[in-house]
């Protein structure tokens, strides 16, 4: 899934959420500006109106403790030519 704001885009690999249900809970709890929502256990939604509130804190992409690929969550800086937050 991907949601674009004006300045930031958020991409989350749907297969990663399906494979590792704890990912949805981690993202929901970690994000300081409530970009992620877990409507039911193991499911994830991106809250479109909050995407541009991203403070580039990296908490959503620092997930080495979960069994998902390194790029399962991507923060894309649309204002920087689509550069991925590293």
Q: Does pTM top 0.85 for this prediction?
A: yes
Q: Mean per-residue pLDDT for 19-25?
A: 90
- Beta strand pairing call for 45-46 and 73-77: unpaired
Helices vs. strands in the chain: H and E counts, helices first: 2, 6
3-state helix, strand, coil in the chain (%, to 5): 30, 20, 50
**Count of the separate structural domains present in the chain:** 1
CA distance 21 to 39: 12
Q: What is the CATH number of the domain that holds 31?
A: 3.30.70.20
> To which residue do tokens 């256990």 refer?
41
Structural domain for 74, as ranges: 2-84
The answer on pLDDT for 17 being more than 80 is yes
- The two three-digit tokens of residue 46, written as one number: 């991106």
User: Which tens digit of pLDDT belongs to each residue from 27-85?
Assistant: 999 999 999 999 999 899 999 999 999 999 999 998 878 888 888 999 999 999 999 99
């Amino acid at each position: 899934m991907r949601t674009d704001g004006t300045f930031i885009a958020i991409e989350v690999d749907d297969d990663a959420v399906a494979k590792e249900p704890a990912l949805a809970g981690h993202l929901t709890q970690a994000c300081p500006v409530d970009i992620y929502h877990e409507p039911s256990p193991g499911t994830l939604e991106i809250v479109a109106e909050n995407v541009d509130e991203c403070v580039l804190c990296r908490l959503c992409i620092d997930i080495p403790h979960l069994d998902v690929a390194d790029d399962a969550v991507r923060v894309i800086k649309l204002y920087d030519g689509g550069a991925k937050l590293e």
